[in-house]
A = this chain, B = another copy of it.
Amino acid sequence: MSSFEVTPQSMFFAEALPLRSGASIAGYSLAYETYGTLNAERSNAVLVCHALNASHHVAGTYAGQPKSQGWWDNMIGPGKPVDTDRFFVIGVNNLGSCFGSTGPMHVNPETGRVWGADFPVVTVEDWVDAQARLLDALGIDTLAAVMGGSLGGMQALSWTLQYPQRVKHAVVVASAPNLTAENIAFNEVARRAIVTDPDFHGGHFYAHGVLPKRGLRIARMIGHITYLSDDVMNEKFGRQLRDAAASGAAYRYSTQEVEFQIESYLRHQGDKFSEYFDANTYLLITRALDYFDPAREHGGDLSAALKSARAKFLLVSFTTDWRFSPQRSREIVNALLDNRCNVSYAEIDAPHGHDAFLLDDVRYTGVVRSYFERIALEVMS
Protein backbone atom coordinates (compact mmCIF):
# COMPACT_ATOMS: atom_id res chain seq x y z
CA MET A 1 0.00 0.00 0.00
CA SER A 2 1.34 3.46 -0.84
CA SER A 3 2.19 5.56 2.15
CA PHE A 4 2.09 9.30 2.78
CA GLU A 5 4.63 11.75 4.07
CA VAL A 6 4.34 13.05 7.59
CA THR A 7 6.24 15.53 9.74
CA PRO A 8 6.69 15.29 13.50
CA GLN A 9 5.82 18.35 15.54
CA SER A 10 6.43 19.43 19.11
CA MET A 11 4.45 21.54 21.56
CA PHE A 12 5.88 23.16 24.67
CA PHE A 13 3.82 23.44 27.86
CA ALA A 14 5.02 26.00 30.40
CA GLU A 15 2.36 25.32 32.99
CA ALA A 16 3.22 22.56 35.47
CA LEU A 17 1.30 19.31 35.08
CA PRO A 18 0.27 17.86 38.44
CA LEU A 19 0.91 14.10 38.57
CA ARG A 20 -0.90 11.33 40.46
CA SER A 21 2.23 10.74 42.55
CA GLY A 22 1.89 14.22 44.07
CA ALA A 23 4.87 15.50 42.09
CA SER A 24 4.46 17.77 39.09
CA ILE A 25 6.42 18.43 35.95
CA ALA A 26 6.94 21.91 34.58
CA GLY A 27 8.17 23.10 31.21
CA TYR A 28 7.72 19.94 29.19
CA SER A 29 7.27 19.23 25.50
CA LEU A 30 5.14 16.67 23.72
CA ALA A 31 6.10 15.30 20.33
CA TYR A 32 3.10 14.62 18.12
CA GLU A 33 1.97 14.04 14.57
CA THR A 34 -1.32 14.65 12.80
CA TYR A 35 -2.75 13.06 9.67
CA GLY A 36 -5.75 14.24 7.68
CA THR A 37 -7.63 17.50 8.15
CA LEU A 38 -9.60 18.78 11.10
CA ASN A 39 -13.06 19.61 9.78
CA ALA A 40 -14.78 22.95 10.31
CA GLU A 41 -16.89 21.56 13.16
CA ARG A 42 -13.71 20.16 14.76
CA SER A 43 -15.63 16.94 15.20
CA ASN A 44 -13.49 14.40 13.34
CA ALA A 45 -10.45 14.13 15.61
CA VAL A 46 -9.13 10.69 16.59
CA LEU A 47 -6.44 10.38 19.23
CA VAL A 48 -4.20 7.31 19.02
CA CYS A 49 -2.41 6.29 22.22
CA HIS A 50 0.74 4.20 22.11
CA ALA A 51 1.98 1.22 24.07
CA LEU A 52 5.36 0.43 25.62
CA ASN A 53 7.88 1.01 22.87
CA ALA A 54 5.96 2.98 20.28
CA SER A 55 5.64 6.70 19.73
CA HIS A 56 3.73 9.57 18.14
CA HIS A 57 4.83 8.23 14.75
CA VAL A 58 1.67 6.20 14.19
CA ALA A 59 1.34 6.29 10.41
CA GLY A 60 2.97 7.49 7.19
CA THR A 61 6.66 7.85 6.45
CA TYR A 62 9.22 10.60 6.86
CA ALA A 63 10.56 12.36 3.77
CA GLY A 64 13.42 10.44 2.22
CA GLN A 65 12.97 7.49 4.59
CA PRO A 66 10.76 5.04 2.68
CA LYS A 67 11.04 2.39 5.40
CA SER A 68 10.01 4.70 8.24
CA GLN A 69 6.36 3.63 8.37
CA GLY A 70 4.54 4.46 11.59
CA TRP A 71 3.77 1.60 13.98
CA TRP A 72 0.08 1.42 13.04
CA ASP A 73 0.50 2.34 9.37
CA ASN A 74 -1.47 -0.74 8.32
CA MET A 75 -4.49 0.56 10.25
CA ILE A 76 -4.34 4.32 9.77
CA GLY A 77 -4.01 6.39 6.60
CA PRO A 78 -5.87 7.39 3.45
CA GLY A 79 -8.45 4.71 2.65
CA LYS A 80 -7.34 2.55 5.57
CA PRO A 81 -9.63 1.28 8.37
CA VAL A 82 -9.08 4.54 10.24
CA ASP A 83 -9.40 6.67 7.12
CA THR A 84 -7.40 9.91 7.26
CA ASP A 85 -9.41 11.17 4.28
CA ARG A 86 -12.26 11.46 6.78
CA PHE A 87 -10.61 11.68 10.19
CA PHE A 88 -8.02 13.99 11.70
CA VAL A 89 -5.73 11.58 13.51
CA ILE A 90 -3.35 12.63 16.26
CA GLY A 91 -0.47 10.57 17.57
CA VAL A 92 1.34 11.81 20.67
CA ASN A 93 4.47 10.56 22.40
CA ASN A 94 3.85 10.14 26.11
CA LEU A 95 5.69 12.02 28.84
CA GLY A 96 8.68 10.02 30.04
CA SER A 97 9.10 8.23 26.72
CA CYS A 98 12.26 8.48 24.65
CA PHE A 99 11.06 9.49 21.20
CA GLY A 100 10.81 13.25 21.47
CA SER A 101 8.57 14.17 24.38
CA THR A 102 10.21 15.25 27.61
CA GLY A 103 11.75 12.24 29.30
CA PRO A 104 14.47 11.02 31.65
CA MET A 105 17.25 11.77 29.15
CA HIS A 106 16.41 15.47 29.15
CA VAL A 107 17.60 18.21 31.45
CA ASN A 108 15.45 19.02 34.44
CA PRO A 109 15.15 22.81 34.14
CA GLU A 110 14.92 23.13 37.90
CA THR A 111 18.28 21.50 38.57
CA GLY A 112 20.09 21.94 35.27
CA ARG A 113 20.91 18.21 35.36
CA VAL A 114 19.63 15.31 33.34
CA TRP A 115 16.55 13.80 35.01
CA GLY A 116 17.69 10.18 34.83
CA ALA A 117 16.07 8.07 37.55
CA ASP A 118 14.68 11.25 39.16
CA PHE A 119 12.14 11.72 36.41
CA PRO A 120 8.79 11.61 38.21
CA VAL A 121 6.71 8.45 37.99
CA VAL A 122 3.96 9.02 35.43
CA THR A 123 0.69 7.13 35.24
CA VAL A 124 -1.84 6.38 32.53
CA GLU A 125 -4.02 9.09 34.08
CA ASP A 126 -1.16 11.61 33.91
CA TRP A 127 -0.62 10.82 30.23
CA VAL A 128 -4.30 11.35 29.53
CA ASP A 129 -4.15 14.72 31.31
CA ALA A 130 -1.15 15.71 29.19
CA GLN A 131 -2.91 14.55 26.02
CA ALA A 132 -5.97 16.60 26.98
CA ARG A 133 -3.81 19.70 27.24
CA LEU A 134 -2.40 19.02 23.81
CA LEU A 135 -5.94 18.78 22.43
CA ASP A 136 -6.78 22.09 24.17
CA ALA A 137 -3.82 23.69 22.42
CA LEU A 138 -4.93 22.21 19.10
CA GLY A 139 -8.43 23.63 19.65
CA ILE A 140 -10.08 20.22 19.87
CA ASP A 141 -12.74 19.99 22.50
CA THR A 142 -14.25 16.62 21.66
CA LEU A 143 -12.73 13.48 20.18
CA ALA A 144 -14.67 11.46 17.63
CA ALA A 145 -12.64 8.58 19.04
CA VAL A 146 -9.73 7.71 21.25
CA MET A 147 -8.00 4.50 20.29
CA GLY A 148 -5.18 2.30 21.47
CA GLY A 149 -3.88 -1.25 21.86
CA SER A 150 -2.42 -2.82 24.99
CA LEU A 151 -1.19 0.03 27.23
CA GLY A 152 -2.67 2.35 24.59
CA GLY A 153 -6.05 0.74 25.23
CA MET A 154 -5.69 1.51 28.93
CA GLN A 155 -5.24 5.17 28.02
CA ALA A 156 -8.30 5.05 25.76
CA LEU A 157 -10.33 3.53 28.59
CA SER A 158 -9.02 6.09 31.06
CA TRP A 159 -9.99 8.94 28.70
CA THR A 160 -13.62 7.86 28.97
CA LEU A 161 -13.41 8.10 32.77
CA GLN A 162 -11.29 11.23 33.15
CA TYR A 163 -12.93 13.25 30.36
CA PRO A 164 -16.27 11.56 29.71
CA GLN A 165 -17.71 14.59 27.92
CA ARG A 166 -14.80 14.87 25.51
CA VAL A 167 -14.92 11.34 24.01
CA LYS A 168 -17.61 10.05 21.64
CA HIS A 169 -16.06 6.63 21.05
CA ALA A 170 -13.30 4.57 22.59
CA VAL A 171 -11.58 1.73 20.71
CA VAL A 172 -9.76 -0.49 23.22
CA VAL A 173 -7.73 -3.28 21.62
CA ALA A 174 -5.91 -6.18 23.34
CA SER A 175 -6.08 -4.43 26.66
CA ALA A 176 -7.03 -5.10 30.28
CA PRO A 177 -8.60 -3.31 33.24
CA ASN A 178 -5.33 -3.85 35.15
CA LEU A 179 -2.30 -6.16 35.14
CA THR A 180 -2.41 -9.60 36.71
CA ALA A 181 0.25 -10.73 39.16
CA GLU A 182 1.94 -12.58 36.30
CA ASN A 183 2.01 -9.44 34.14
CA ILE A 184 3.55 -7.47 37.00
CA ALA A 185 6.02 -10.29 37.56
CA PHE A 186 7.30 -10.15 33.98
CA ASN A 187 7.64 -6.36 34.24
CA GLU A 188 9.50 -6.66 37.51
CA VAL A 189 12.03 -9.19 36.17
CA ALA A 190 12.70 -6.88 33.22
CA ARG A 191 13.16 -3.91 35.54
CA ARG A 192 15.50 -5.86 37.81
CA ALA A 193 17.60 -6.85 34.80
CA ILE A 194 17.97 -3.16 33.92
CA VAL A 195 18.45 -1.79 37.43
CA THR A 196 21.07 -4.40 38.38
CA ASP A 197 23.10 -3.84 35.20
CA PRO A 198 26.29 -2.18 36.51
CA ASP A 199 26.03 0.28 33.62
CA PHE A 200 22.70 1.54 34.96
CA HIS A 201 24.48 3.57 37.67
CA GLY A 202 21.32 4.03 39.69
CA GLY A 203 19.60 5.50 36.64
CA HIS A 204 22.23 8.21 36.07
CA PHE A 205 24.18 6.38 33.38
CA TYR A 206 24.03 9.36 30.99
CA ALA A 207 26.70 11.10 33.09
CA HIS A 208 28.92 8.02 32.78
CA GLY A 209 28.76 7.80 29.01
CA VAL A 210 27.42 4.24 29.12
CA LEU A 211 24.09 2.53 28.50
CA PRO A 212 22.73 -0.46 30.47
CA LYS A 213 22.41 -2.50 27.31
CA ARG A 214 22.69 -5.88 29.01
CA GLY A 215 19.62 -5.15 31.08
CA LEU A 216 17.69 -3.72 28.15
CA ARG A 217 18.44 -6.80 26.07
CA ILE A 218 17.11 -9.13 28.76
CA ALA A 219 14.05 -6.91 29.26
CA ARG A 220 13.27 -6.99 25.57
CA MET A 221 13.77 -10.73 25.25
CA ILE A 222 11.33 -11.34 28.11
CA GLY A 223 8.90 -8.92 26.50
CA HIS A 224 9.07 -10.67 23.16
CA ILE A 225 8.27 -14.04 24.68
CA THR A 226 5.11 -12.58 26.17
CA TYR A 227 4.07 -10.83 22.94
CA LEU A 228 3.98 -14.07 20.98
CA SER A 229 1.79 -17.10 21.47
CA ASP A 230 3.26 -20.52 22.14
CA ASP A 231 1.60 -21.64 18.88
CA VAL A 232 3.11 -18.97 16.66
CA MET A 233 6.52 -19.50 18.25
CA ASN A 234 6.32 -23.18 17.46
CA GLU A 235 5.18 -22.43 13.94
CA LYS A 236 7.80 -19.74 13.26
CA PHE A 237 10.75 -21.27 15.08
CA GLY A 238 9.86 -24.60 16.63
CA ARG A 239 13.03 -26.47 17.46
CA GLN A 240 14.80 -25.36 14.28
CA LEU A 241 18.52 -25.01 14.60
CA ARG A 242 20.04 -21.66 13.73
CA ASP A 243 21.60 -22.88 10.56
CA ALA A 244 18.52 -24.04 8.67
CA ALA A 245 20.73 -26.06 6.32
CA ALA A 246 22.06 -27.91 9.35
CA SER A 247 18.56 -28.91 10.44
CA GLY A 248 18.75 -32.60 11.18
CA ALA A 249 22.49 -32.16 11.55
CA ALA A 250 24.35 -32.51 14.82
CA TYR A 251 23.92 -30.17 17.75
CA ARG A 252 26.82 -27.89 18.55
CA TYR A 253 26.65 -28.88 22.22
CA SER A 254 27.30 -25.41 23.55
CA THR A 255 25.73 -23.54 26.45
CA GLN A 256 26.62 -20.05 25.24
CA GLU A 257 26.52 -20.16 21.44
CA VAL A 258 23.25 -19.83 19.57
CA GLU A 259 21.91 -23.30 18.85
CA PHE A 260 18.22 -22.77 18.09
CA GLN A 261 16.59 -20.29 15.73
CA ILE A 262 14.43 -18.87 18.54
CA GLU A 263 17.60 -17.90 20.42
CA SER A 264 18.94 -16.06 17.42
CA TYR A 265 15.65 -14.21 17.00
CA LEU A 266 15.47 -13.16 20.65
CA ARG A 267 19.09 -12.03 20.79
CA HIS A 268 18.59 -9.97 17.66
CA GLN A 269 15.47 -8.32 19.10
CA GLY A 270 17.30 -7.60 22.33
CA ASP A 271 20.32 -6.13 20.57
CA LYS A 272 18.23 -3.84 18.37
CA PHE A 273 16.15 -2.60 21.28
CA SER A 274 19.15 -1.88 23.49
CA GLU A 275 20.49 0.48 20.82
CA TYR A 276 17.52 2.84 20.82
CA PHE A 277 15.41 2.47 23.92
CA ASP A 278 16.02 4.42 27.11
CA ALA A 279 16.40 2.35 30.26
CA ASN A 280 14.64 4.83 32.55
CA THR A 281 11.77 5.06 30.08
CA TYR A 282 11.44 1.29 30.28
CA LEU A 283 11.08 1.49 34.04
CA LEU A 284 8.57 4.34 33.84
CA ILE A 285 6.35 2.77 31.21
CA THR A 286 6.23 -0.68 32.79
CA ARG A 287 5.38 0.99 36.09
CA ALA A 288 2.54 2.92 34.46
CA LEU A 289 1.24 -0.47 33.31
CA ASP A 290 1.54 -1.92 36.82
CA TYR A 291 -0.23 1.02 38.43
CA PHE A 292 -3.20 1.27 36.07
CA ASP A 293 -6.23 -0.04 37.93
CA PRO A 294 -9.34 2.16 37.72
CA ALA A 295 -11.25 -0.25 39.98
CA ARG A 296 -8.78 0.23 42.80
CA GLU A 297 -10.44 3.35 44.20
CA HIS A 298 -13.73 1.47 44.09
CA GLY A 299 -12.67 -1.49 46.22
CA GLY A 300 -11.93 -3.54 43.12
CA ASP A 301 -15.41 -3.00 41.64
CA LEU A 302 -14.79 -2.35 37.94
CA SER A 303 -18.46 -1.67 37.23
CA ALA A 304 -18.42 1.09 39.83
CA ALA A 305 -15.18 2.44 38.36
CA LEU A 306 -16.66 2.69 34.86
CA LYS A 307 -19.83 4.43 36.01
CA SER A 308 -18.71 7.80 34.68
CA ALA A 309 -18.07 6.50 31.14
CA ARG A 310 -20.33 8.15 28.53
CA ALA A 311 -18.57 7.06 25.33
CA LYS A 312 -19.56 4.25 23.00
CA PHE A 313 -17.04 1.42 22.95
CA LEU A 314 -15.41 -1.07 20.65
CA LEU A 315 -13.38 -3.71 22.45
CA VAL A 316 -11.21 -6.17 20.52
CA SER A 317 -9.22 -9.09 21.87
CA PHE A 318 -7.28 -11.98 20.35
CA THR A 319 -7.76 -15.62 21.31
CA THR A 320 -4.06 -16.50 21.66
CA ASP A 321 -3.08 -13.33 23.56
CA TRP A 322 -1.95 -14.68 26.94
CA ARG A 323 -0.50 -11.34 28.04
CA PHE A 324 -3.85 -9.53 27.85
CA SER A 325 -6.24 -12.41 27.36
CA PRO A 326 -9.78 -12.14 25.97
CA GLN A 327 -11.03 -12.75 29.51
CA ARG A 328 -9.57 -9.40 30.57
CA SER A 329 -11.35 -7.61 27.71
CA ARG A 330 -14.58 -9.36 28.65
CA GLU A 331 -14.23 -8.00 32.19
CA ILE A 332 -14.28 -4.51 30.71
CA VAL A 333 -17.17 -5.35 28.39
CA ASN A 334 -19.22 -6.75 31.26
CA ALA A 335 -18.50 -3.78 33.51
CA LEU A 336 -19.54 -1.41 30.70
CA LEU A 337 -22.73 -3.39 30.13
CA ASP A 338 -23.45 -3.16 33.86
CA ASN A 339 -23.47 0.57 33.26
CA ARG A 340 -25.74 0.24 30.19
CA CYS A 341 -23.00 1.55 27.93
CA ASN A 342 -23.12 1.02 24.18
CA VAL A 343 -20.45 -1.67 23.61
CA SER A 344 -19.33 -3.70 20.62
CA TYR A 345 -16.93 -6.56 21.26
CA ALA A 346 -14.93 -8.67 18.83
CA GLU A 347 -12.87 -11.66 19.91
CA ILE A 348 -10.60 -12.41 16.97
CA ASP A 349 -9.37 -15.96 16.49
CA ALA A 350 -5.78 -15.09 15.59
CA PRO A 351 -2.65 -17.16 16.17
CA HIS A 352 -0.23 -14.30 16.86
CA GLY A 353 -0.67 -13.66 20.57
CA HIS A 354 -0.53 -10.11 21.89
CA ASP A 355 1.33 -8.98 18.77
CA ALA A 356 -1.86 -9.59 16.78
CA PHE A 357 -3.06 -6.07 17.54
CA LEU A 358 -0.30 -4.69 15.32
CA LEU A 359 -0.72 -7.20 12.50
CA ASP A 360 -3.02 -7.50 9.53
CA ASP A 361 -5.99 -9.77 9.92
CA VAL A 362 -8.99 -9.21 7.69
CA ARG A 363 -11.49 -9.88 10.47
CA TYR A 364 -9.72 -7.49 12.82
CA THR A 365 -9.19 -4.66 10.34
CA GLY A 366 -12.70 -5.30 9.01
CA VAL A 367 -14.22 -4.76 12.45
CA VAL A 368 -12.24 -1.57 12.97
CA ARG A 369 -13.13 -0.30 9.49
CA SER A 370 -16.86 -0.88 10.04
CA TYR A 371 -16.73 0.77 13.42
CA PHE A 372 -15.03 3.89 12.05
CA GLU A 373 -17.51 4.02 9.17
CA ARG A 374 -20.21 4.16 11.80
CA ILE A 375 -18.32 6.93 13.63
CA ALA A 376 -17.94 8.83 10.34
CA LEU A 377 -21.69 8.68 9.79
CA GLU A 378 -22.28 10.10 13.25
CA VAL A 379 -19.64 12.79 12.84
CA MET A 380 -21.02 13.91 9.47
CA SER A 381 -24.67 13.90 10.51
- Which A residues form the contact surface with B (CB < 8 A)? 20-23, 117, 120-121, 178-182, 184-186, 188-189, 191-193, 195-198, 203, 214, 217-218, 221-222, 224-225, 228, 230, 233-234, 236-239, 248, 251, 253-256, 259-260, 262-263, 266-267, 270, 280, 283-284, 286-287, 290-291, 293, 296, 299, 322
Q: Is A189 in contact with B234, judged by CB distance below 8 angstroms?
A: no
Q: How far, in Å, is A321 (CB) from chain B's closest CB?
A: 13
Q: Is B225 in contact with A255, judged by CB distance below 8 angstroms?
A: no
User: Which B residues are in CB contact (< 8 Å) with A180?
Assistant: 230, 233-234, 239
Q: How far, in Å, is A191 (CB) from chain B's closest CB?
A: 7
CB-based nearest B residue for A119: B255
Q: List 24 A-B contacts (CB under 8 A).
A: A21-B251, A121-B255, A181-B262, A182-B225, A182-B233, A184-B263, A185-B221, A185-B262, A185-B263, A185-B266, A188-B260, A188-B263, A189-B225, A191-B255, A192-B221, A193-B218, A196-B214, A196-B218, A197-B214, A198-B198, A203-B256, A218-B218, A251-B291, A253-B291
User: Which B residues are in CB contact (< 8 Å) with A237?
Assistant: 181
Given contacts A218-B192, A218-B218, contact A293 B239 (CB under 8 A): yes
Q: Is B233 in contact with A217, judged by CB distance below 8 angstroms?
A: no
User: Which B residues are in CB contact (< 8 Å) with A228?
Assistant: 182
- Chain A to chain B: the 3 pairs with minimum beta-carbon distance, closest first: A21-B253, A255-B283, A181-B233
Residue of A217, A234, A239, A263 with most chain B CB atoms under a 10 A cut-off:
A239
Given contacts A179-B239, A263-B188, A266-B188, contact A217 B196 (CB under 8 A): yes
Given contacts A180-B230, A255-B283, A283-B255, contact A225 B185 (CB under 8 A): yes
User: Which B residues are in CB contact (< 8 Å) with A23?
Assistant: 253
Q: Is A255 in contact with B284, judged by CB distance below 8 angstroms?
A: yes
Q: Is A184 in contact with B262, judged by CB distance below 8 angstroms?
A: yes
Q: Is A185 in contact with B267, judged by CB distance below 8 angstroms?
A: no
Given contacts A222-B189, A237-B181, A239-B181, contact A121 B254 (CB under 8 A): yes
Q: Is B191 in contact with A218, judged by CB distance below 8 angstroms?
A: no
User: Which B residues are in CB contact (< 8 Å) with A290?
Assistant: 259-260
Task: State the CA gap A103–B21 with chains docked (Å).
Answer: 50
Q: How far, in Å, is A319 (CB) from chain B's closest CB?
A: 16
Task: State the CA gap A178–B352 with chains docked (Å).
Answer: 22
Additional A-B contacts beyond A196-B218, A251-B291 (7; CB < 8 A): A180-B234, A181-B230, A182-B228, A185-B262, A189-B225, A195-B256, A203-B256
Of B22, B260, B293, which contacts A253 at CB under 8 A? B22
